[in-house]
Amino acid sequence: RTRELLREIREMKNVKLVGLHSHIGSLITEIAPYSEVGKVMAALAKEALALGHELDYVDVGGGLGVIYQNALAVQADTEPGEGMALSPRAVGAQLLPPLAGLNCDLIFEPGRALVATSGVLITRVLYVKHSGGKRFVVVDASMTDLIRPSLYNAYHQIVPVHFKNAETEKCEIVGPVCESGDFLAKDRELERVQRGDLLAVMTAGAYGFSLSSNYNARPRPAEVLVDGNAYRISRPRQAVERVWE
């Protein structure tokens, strides 16, 4: 159908094709799909050029995955953006050969891979309770701050900010919002914690603030940039008054 559209667009007086764009998925951790999309897009681009289209760009999309499991160990000795199964450099090495010589811009969207490992959500334990045979660790962060676990059961490693080498126990790590789906982790092993302890939700730099909300009249949290021992507030905590604007 794409090839038919290339011909149809060529005959349209008020439509000009300026580029080709693909999207092959998310959280891709193998190189083979990028090798394949490079070949497919190169073939389509060459066909478009042969039909007389003038392309400004070919966009192969994104989907480059990062490592969410055991993120703390993975990120311990890496720079931001390196905690991933594949690097943008490795993907580029697969994409460039088939797309070379098209005389247009090549666009790749690494997005998540650049920022996911750069962000950590810090949350404080409000209290611990037991109900229905389960242990619930209730924290002050919620689905309004990081909705990925609630939205599609996404995994984020959660660890104490200050390790105590204490005994671990399975628990549900949940927020204070009045929703049964307000959780950050289910059936998770975690050191025994108490009111006031800080937890770090790892790999939270992507789809965190962009998917956050003011649901339940909750202000968005502050964002802090850290560089070694220095830090600065890049986005202050939202004032309650702003929630109602």
- Structural element, H or E, at residue 23: none
Domain ranges in the chain are 2-116, 120-243
Q: What is the pLDDT of residue 139?
A: 98
- What is the CATH class of 120-243? mainly beta
For the segment 34-53, the average pLDDT, to the nearest whole number, is 95
Tokens 């760009």 sit on residue: 57
pLDDT 10s digits, 114-161: 899 899 999 999 999 999 999 999 999 999 999 999 999 999 999 999
Nearest to 110 by CA among 60, 63, 167, 153: 63
In the block, residue with structure tokens 């059936």:
187
Tell me what the pLDDT averaged over the chain comes to. Answer: 91
Q: How far apart are CA 206 and CA 210, in angstroms?
A: 8
- 104 in active site: no
Pick the CATH number of 2-116 from 3.40.50.150, 3.40.630.30, 3.40.250.10, 3.20.20.10: 3.20.20.10
In the set 15, 178, 217, 230, the catalytic residue is 178
Give residue 83's pLDDT band: very low, low, confident or very high (50, 70, 90): very low
